[in-house]
Amino acid sequence: MKQIILILLAVFLFTTAFAEELSSPNGKMKLTFNLENGVPVYQLALDGHPIIKPSKLGLELKDADDLMTGFSIENTLTTTFDETWKPVWGESSTIRNHYNELEVILKQASTQREMILRFRVFDDGLGFRYEFPEQNNLIYFVVKAEHSQFAMAGDHTAYWIPGDYDTQEYDYTTSKLSEIRALMERAITPNASQTPISETAVQTALMMKTDDGYYINLHEAALKDYSCMHLELDDKNMIFESVLTPDALGNMAYMQAPCSTPWRTIIAGKNAGDILLSNITLNLNEPCAYENADWIKPVKYVGVWWEMITGKSTWSYTNLPSVKLGETDYSKTTPNGTHAANTKHVKEYIDFAAKHGFDAVLVEGWNEGWEDWFGKSKDYVFDFVTPYPDFDVDELQAYAKSKNVKLMMHHETSGSVRNYERHLDTAYQFMVDHSYNSVKSGYVGDIIPRGEYHYGQWMVNHYLYALKKAGDYKIMVNAHEAVRPTGLCRTYPNLIGNESARGTEYEAFGGNHPDHTTILPFTRLLGGPMDYTPGIFEPDVSQYNPNNNSHVNTTIARQLALYVTMYSPLQMAADLPETYNKHLDAFQFIEDVAIDWDKTLVLEAEPGDYITYARKAKNSDNWFVGRTNDEEKRTSEISFDFLDPDVKYIATVYADAKDANYLTNPKAYEISKYVVNSKSKLKQVCAPGGGYAISIIKAENKDELKSLKKL
């Protein structure tokens, strides 16, 4: 009996007390892993402060024993990795990828199956994933649920949007975790596409702040061949658990070993800027898949878009439904007179782009079929090569080339994904033949076939398929309504933009809250750049469409700031040329601002309140600063100590006027010029819903400094 007790005690100690510990390279972030009665459990601390309390890991399988308990540790391996890599484009010209790794090889005695848990501990957080090596007892399997837990150490303040399998287009809510359930219904706007998963499910990337001032972010990286993760909150115990997006049958993922899940990421820091500057999401993705990526270039563009979003113009050529795609005799129809994508009008946009040094012009509504799609047929599909009669593809190709401007293609799939895949080669070849090198794709509406969601494994695989296919044709992709990005732009840098959040278009549908752009960089943008489409100079939408009384909740100065604070290598000047022509002094900043960077700094930041970035343009001595503000009047105080010492610069400050206000006086701005150096400081008042933008250009001529004040 004594021997039996000793054996049982030994087993108990092995399965409960044994723990693996691994610290980050700087020693401040500490992972602890152990088995509790055969269940994998991890926890994470920063400087001894709990970030993640003990949390369970495991997968529930369909028609098979679960991978959740009954494990023993077969082996553990620790390694260190340190590299510096150069992104094709990005917020900095070099990125360090430095982590310590723990590989835990687990074996389930009852099934003899193996599962590996791989942890990578960075100075600013943790990434972990499940891996399934090749083995006889686990080949094909279906994931019924993933039970990855993230146990919080308190009732943190969270910046959240409801969990939803089909859309991220929500305004953010700021609340305590314990308040999410009560506020969930209020977080839903009158939008038929919004269907929250539950009363306590939220989306990643989820941003939080603890009562003692730590910042925590939960997300995922390298989402491939798996479904998108949401988080369900147990608000009694403050434990988040992963919730995967199901397919039409209710299954979460179909797997074949050897395989792995995406990485689950936890980013943490004592400063808000630690979250904004983290590269964990990118570093957990594979290196660039293209041996030569010279064809991938950042793009600054204008386009026939905002006038259609506001209702000034239309996508469709006629108000009558077509009979059959490619067979409608449009000579027997009457044009509606508001079709924006016509040859003459697009030439005007090309002229404006050429005059102001823009790279491209986006044209939506150029192809047949929009009449049917807008409410006439739920199953309508496009062919992506048949233009309306008033859109001359060849003439516009030649005209754009003569102006050194590219045209940007638009592919609205209408959610009919298999149709799009059937046409992809033809559509991409059409682009190549007509000198289009970038495409904005859209997935508005329910996914066809029925029952599939935008963020399920089936659609995740489609987005990557379309992206890889575009790479075959050297085409860059800006996907709207797609799954939120998870750093795949490192591997496939032709993914130069996504929407995947509530963008500027909602300003024409009723408005975004002023704090929206002070939260997005902490959430949506952690996975990759967003095509936010800033640059709206006319906040009164009724000036374009008398029947639209929406108001853009911003000042002009803040719209300029967004080109710095909302990072993207794809930046649109979204307003109409005639409006910009009324404010060319302010528009100068949009002309000047870079879209690719050597270095990025966070000068001030607090989620939901304000963000101030400073960025150094790639291969340049010039810097740009942007500050976005919430609905409160605030004063920003920054130092220019990031500038090269002993060098003088000219700083042009685009700021809110003293009486500016996003509701009552949004177009009031002031432009001032100063001489600055590394010792200069700025104290700038930001209006409610306002901000400022600064271009800092190295002075080449001493004479130009004589008339300017020193800052």
β-pairing, 206-209 with 201-203? unpaired
DSSP secondary structure of 432-482: HHTT--EEEEE--SS-BSTT--TTSHHHHHHHHHHHHHHHHTT-EEEESSS
pLDDT (average), residues 220-246? 98
How many C-beta neighbours within 10 Å does residue 186 have? 9
Residue 407 domain-assigned?
Answer: no
SS3 102: strand
Whole-number average pLDDT of the chain:
94
Query: Quick one: pLDDT band at residue 18, thresholds 50, 70, 90?
Result: confident
Residue 132 domain-assigned?
Answer: yes
Which of 270, 292, 316 is where one domain is finished?
270
Domain count, the chain: 2
Query: Which residues fall within 8 angstroms of residue 210, CB to CB, at 6 or more apart?
Result: 153, 154, 156, 157, 216
3-state secondary structure 63-92: CCCCECCCEEEEEEEEEEEEEEECCCCCCC
Catalytic residue among 412, 481, 505, 507: 505
DSSP letter at 257 equals: S
Which of 237, 270, 303 is where one domain is finished?
270
343 pLDDT more than 90: yes
**pLDDT of the residue at 292:** 96
**pLDDT of the residue at 17:** 47
CA–CA separation, 615 and 594 (whole Å):
9
**pLDDT of the residue at 11:** 40
72-76, 352-356, 372-376, 380-384 — which is least confidently predicted? 372-376
Walk across the sheet containing 610-617 and list its strands: 597-606, 610-617, 623-629, 691-698, 649-656, 669-676, 709-710
29 pLDDT more than 50: yes
How does pLDDT run across 296-306, given as a tens digit for each residue? 999 999 999 99
Residue 450 domain-assigned?
Answer: no
Residues in the chain: 711
pLDDT (average), residues 645-660? 96
CA–CA separation, 251 and 256 (whole Å):
15
SS3 588: helix
Are the C-beta atoms of 303 and 364 separated by less than 8 Å?
A: yes
DSSP secondary structure of 184-236: TGGG--S-TT--BS-SSEEESSEEEE-TTS-EEEEEEE---SSPPEEEEEETT
Query: Which residues fall within 8 angstroms of residue 707, CB to CB, at 6 or more apart?
Result: none
DSSP secondary structure of 127-139: EEEEEE---TT-S
Backbone angles phi, psi at 93, to 5 degrees: -80, -20
How does pLDDT run across 146-161, given as a tens digit for each residue? 999 999 999 999 999 9
582 pLDDT more than 90: yes
Residue 50 domain-assigned?
Answer: yes
Angle at 121 between CA 117 and CA 122, to 5 degrees: 150
CATH code for the domain in which residue 85 is found: 2.70.98.10
Query: Quick one: pLDDT band at residue 660, thresholds 50, 70, 90?
Result: very high
372-376, 529-533, 598-602, 632-636 — which is least confidently predicted? 372-376
Percent pLDDT > 90 in the chain is: 88
Its domain, for residue 659, covers: 510-711
Residue 553 domain-assigned?
Answer: yes
**pLDDT of the residue at 6:** 36
Are the C-beta atoms of 102 and 110 separated by less than 8 Å?
A: no
pLDDT (average), residues 214-232? 98
**pLDDT of the residue at 659:** 97
501 pLDDT more than 70: yes
Are the C-beta atoms of 147 and 239 separated by less than 8 Å?
A: no
CA–CA separation, 412 and 363 (whole Å):
12
606 pLDDT more than 50: yes
As given in the structure block, the two tokens for residue 184 are 């969930």
Residue 433 domain-assigned?
Answer: no
374 pLDDT more than 70: no
Query: Quick one: pLDDT band at residue 528, thresholds 50, 70, 90?
Result: very high
4 pLDDT more than 80: no
CATH code for the domain in which residue 694 is found: 3.20.20.70
Residue 442 domain-assigned?
Answer: no
Query: Quick one: pLDDT band at residue 140, thresholds 50, 70, 90?
Result: very high
How many C-beta neighbours within 10 Å does residue 626 have? 27
CA–CA separation, 340 and 544 (whole Å):
13
169 part of the active site: no
**pLDDT of the residue at 192:** 64
Which of 217, 248, 270 is where one domain is finished?
270
**pLDDT of the residue at 380:** 58
Beta bridge partners of 5: none
Residue 573 domain-assigned?
Answer: yes
310-324, 332-346, 627-641 — which is least confidently predicted? 310-324
**pLDDT of the residue at 94:** 98
Rounded to the nearest 10 degrees, the angle between the axes of helix 417-433 and helix 457-472 is: 10
Strands (E), 499-633: 570-572, 597-606, 610-617, 623-629
**pLDDT of the residue at 7:** 38
pLDDT (average), residues 644-652? 95
